[in-house]
Structure 1
């Protein structure tokens, strides 16, 4: 699924093309994908897109008239933009290989620029929800801190860890109410870089291990954003070129392959309901 670096890449690319455009038509092809179902189209048409922000893995299209459209891609979501005769997309690769709209297209938004925005979702876990600006802010305020913000200091990270002593490190890192934006890819990579098993209890980490984990989370996310994210079976493309962070992956998607440190096969386990890859020998 798209995580912080992938969603940030989508945000940056879309912002260059759609900010300032007005919504002239809306087609909802799957009613359960949007909210509110009855007034969704009516309230969107005529609104101008004033900004596009990201909160963790959530995209928020700020609209004039005191509205905000929240779009979450979840596991297999995809945003497609038809721009000047070209189809540009970011997210799950399967639907992008087909013409748009297609059977996975649940929301179509036509813009005053002539561009058309499609929201596709193969497994229908994602959503598009329209709120007032005030209600949207209330929702995003429940999200944990963004690990890339300057306000995400080690003191903040340490404080969060102290409240999660009985949880596994993996569960703690995946908790979007504590830190928003990390998913399976970057939790596994951060734990490996910090030489910490994701199965460890957060309360067992030493001060030095905590600092190492904090530094690697930030460093890995910054690098992944710079490389436009990770290209994988569930997140393949962005609007100008594919993400290249795949070549930097040390453990994610490499179960059974040689560890790049010690050469022994990488282990795979189920941690917090998620497939988790790590090195039994290099991670303590």
Structure 2
């Protein structure tokens, strides 16, 4: 009888040890970091622009360094800007990742700038911002005995498409008035080639003279407007007008009469 009891005790101890080992190997990969979600770094995010649509590609990887396969892995994500305006949301169904395996993929999405413009949200056109990625990861582990859920977030910088348009210097020799200007646009606009910028000098509502220049996009472009002197009247302002990526941009600069001397 004592021998039977001893055998039962040993069997119970063995079962408890197996349960402990199962529980330990089920939970250990998560706090130890053997199961890792590697979120995109700012420098890894690729941007492109075409026909009013911004395309974003953000790489990520998942490392299942645990003891068991991960199944029914799903990533839900939302992308918002600094003011919490929703840019895009989606769910990625990854499925199963075998034990010890690493899977890599990208979060790819597009959004139309018109959607922001129509909603009176033109911030992304003319101002730097951040795109915030909020991810929810859900999966099963240890033959679906353990359900894992976690939330992650990462922010990547957004460069304004139209960074700056302005005047740098003014020169006059009594024969010509030369006005140096710059147009600074985001590198993702480079495939568009260029556009036209017009400088108009006004006195009140009267257009006195104008000049047109070609502007290269996707860089810091510098150029010079040239106007023959004398003018029929002294201008009170200069208006710079251009259309970039389908959006009209107007900048008014007060005209200093001292520029003519």
* Fold shared by both chains (TM-score > 0.5): no
Question: Higher relative contact order at CA 8 Å, sep ≥6: structure 1 or structure 2?
Answer: 1
Judging by fraction of residues, say which structure has more helix. Answer: 1
Q: Which has the larger radius of gyration?
A: 2
Could you tell me the TM-score, scaled by structure 1's length? 0.23
